Structure 1
Amino acid sequence: MHNNDLLHTEKILADRKTFFLDLKENARGKVVKITEDVSGNRDTIMVPAEILGDFIAALSDIKATADGE
């Protein structure tokens, strides 16, 4: 993917980790690329934009459990 395919980006700092959330678009559609950077070592997952609602709902449920709700 080229940088001109980037529609939106967010950066989250957490201790020694940095998370990048990039909304990109290619011929197959929109995707969120989630990258974890730990001291220069990067791991990435791709989440199709059409399932973002399910992904966010699952994260919200996990947060509620983590928060003891």
Structure 2
Amino acid sequence: MVDNNDLLHTEKILADRKVFFLDLKENARGRVVKITEDVGGNRDTIMVPAEILGDFIAALVDIKETADR
């Protein structure tokens, strides 16, 4: 049995004074990616269901392409 909020994988990204944590977790309702931004100890978090991760990444790629122009 899977324990609530089991951590399956984690990544850490450093950007100036910010730190981003990307955690793949699994709970009773499925898998989610928890994205946490830490700025000087203040944290904000969003949860992205794993089943829409492809759409989420595609949207980020589109935004990156626009930003790179």
Matched residue pairs, number? 66
Match of 2:42 in 1: 41
Q: TM-score, structure 2 length as denominator?
A: 0.93
Q: C-alpha distance in 2, partners of 1:13/1:40?
A: 14
Overall identity of the aligned pairs, in %? 88
Detail structure 1 runs of 4+ shifted over 4 Å in the superposition: none
The answer for the alignment partner of 1:57 in structure 2 is: 58
Where structure 2 has 5 or more consecutive residues not aligned to the other structure, the ranges are: none
The CA distance in 1 between the partners of 2:48 and 2:25, in whole Å, is: 10
1:20 Cα deviation after fit = 0.1
**Higher fraction of helix:** 1
Mapped partners of 2:46, 2:7: distance in 1: 16
Report Cα offsets for 1:25-59 as digits up to 9, x if no partner: 00000000000000000000000000000000000
TM-score by length of 1: 0.93
Question: What is the Cα-based RMSD across aligned positions, in Å?
Answer: 0.8
Partner SS for 2:63: helix
Unaligned runs of 5+ in 1: none
